[in-house]
Structure 1
Amino acid sequence: MDSLLCDEKWVVSPYSASDCCEHETFEMSGGSERTGCGGSRFGMTQQERDAAIAVCLEKEMGCMPGSGFVECVEAKGLVFARTRVMQWLIKCRSRLKLSYSTIFLAANYFDRLISICKCQEWQLWIAELVSIACLSVASKFNETLSTLSIHEIQMEDLDHSFQPSTIQRMELMLLQMLGWRLVPITAYSYVELLTCNGNFLTSHLHEQFITKVNDLLLHSLMDINFAEFRPSVIAASAFQCGLDNVLTLSSTVCLTNYIHQIVCQDQREIDLMKCQKLMEVWLASECFKAIACGSFSCYPSSPVTVLLAKRIDVNDDHVDLSIFMVQARSCIGITKSKKTKRLRKSIS
Structure 2
Amino acid sequence: MDSLLCDEVWLTTSPTTTILNHDYGGSFYTTKEDSQQAFDICLQKEIGYMPESQYQDHLQSSGLILARFRAMQWLLKSQRRLNLSCQTVFNAANYFDRFLSMNQCKGWKYWMVELLAIACLSVAYKFGETTHLPLHEIQMEDLDHSFQSSLIQRMELTLLKTLGWRLGSVTTYSYIELLMWNFDSLTSFLLGELTTRVTDLLLSNLSDSKFVEFRPCVVAISALRCVIQDSLPSPTYNAHLDYITRLIPEDQKISKTEKSNDVDLTFSPKVYCIHVIFG
Shorter-chain TM-score category?
0.7 to 0.9
| 1:256 aligned residue | 241
1:21 aligns with 2:6: no
1:241 aligns with 2:240: no
TM-score, structure 1 normalization: 0.69
Choose from 97, 112, 122 the match for 1:126.
Answer: 112
| 1:164 aligned residue | 149
Change (3 A) 1:23 1:143: farther
Q: Which runs of 5+ in 2 are unaligned?
A: 254-266
> What is the RMSD computed on CA atoms of the aligned residues?
2.5
Deviation at 1:155, TM superposition (A): 1.1
Q: Quick one: distance in 2 between partners of 1:126 and 1:147?
A: 25
Alignment of 1:91-110 (within 5 A): 91-110=77-96
Q: Quick one: distance in 1 between partners of 2:236 and 2:80?
A: 29
Deviation at 1:57, TM superposition (A): 0.7
Partner AA of 1:90 in structure 2: L
Deviation at 1:62, TM superposition (A): 0.7
Comparing 258-267 with 89-98, which one deviates more in the overlay?
258-267
Q: Quick one: distance in 2 between partners of 1:183 and 1:231?
A: 14
Question: How many residues are matched?
Answer: 265
1:10 aligns with 2:10: yes
Q: Which runs of 5+ in 1 are unaligned?
A: 29-39, 281-348
| 2:256 aligned residue | none
Alignment of 1:143-292 (within 5 A): 143-144=129-130, 146-196=131-181, 199=184, 202-247=187-232, 252=237, 255-268=240-253, 269-270=267-268, 271-280=270-279
| 2:263 aligned residue | none
Q: Deviations for 1:36-85, whole angstroms, at most 9, x for unmatched residues?
A: xxxx7554311111111111111111110111111111222211100000
SS at match of 2:184: helix
Deviation at 1:255, TM superposition (A): 4.1
CA contact (8 A) 1:132 1:167 kept: yes
Partner AA of 2:178 in structure 1: L
Q: Deviations for 1:201-221, whole angstroms, at most 9, x for unmatched residues?
A: 743122221222112111221
CA contact (8 A) 1:21 1:195 kept: no
Q: Quick one: distance in 1 between partners of 2:239 and 2:80?
A: 30
Comparing 62-71 with 256-265, which one deviates more in the overlay?
256-265
Identity over aligned residues, as a percent? 47
CA contact (8 A) 1:187 1:235 kept: yes
Choose from 67, 73, 97 the match for 2:59.
Answer: 73
CA contact (8 A) 1:11 1:52 kept: no
Comparing 251-260 with 170-179, which one deviates more in the overlay?
251-260
Q: Quick one: distance in 2 between partners of 1:116 and 1:234?
A: 22
CA contact (8 A) 1:208 1:246 kept: no
| 2:34 aligned residue | 48
CA contact (8 A) 2:8 2:166 kept: yes
TM-score, structure 2 normalization: 0.86
Q: Quick one: distance in 2 between partners of 1:77 and 1:65?
A: 17
